[in-house]
Amino acid sequence: MAWRDFKKRLKRQMSDIMDIPSDIVMDLPKIVLVGDLQVFIENHRGIVEYTAESARVSVGEYEVAVTGEELLLRNILPDEICLEGRIKSVYFIR
């Protein structure tokens, strides 16, 4: 585990020094919220759970959970998911 932590730290420092967006360098999810209407989740690893009230999306080491009402998966692409509906919360589950 130490090796992986070291690599992570290196990457973060690199992205800080080189001024490269860290979502690219570190392969992190990028989550964009448009009001409470839409959530875009980039760099995802697949859907874990989807119901009308909640959705969980795997993003590698952890999950992004979205709760709301009348949730609708507007589209699913290999690296992007768009969720629509009245969104209440977005949080991470480790």
Enumerate binding residues for another protein (CB under 8 A).
46-52, 71-78
User: CA-CA distance, 72 to 44, in Å (whole number)?
Assistant: 17
Determine the distance from the C-alpha atom of residue 38 to the mean position of all C-alpha atoms in its chain, rounded to a whole number. Answer: 13
> Minimum CB separation from another protein for residue 90, in Å?
18
> Minimum CB separation from another protein for residue 40, in Å?
13
Nearer to another protein by Cβ, of 31 and 81: the residue is 81
Q: Is 29 exposed, middle or buried (0-12, 13-18, 19+ CB in 10 A)?
A: buried
Nearer to another protein by Cβ, of 14 and 48: the residue is 48
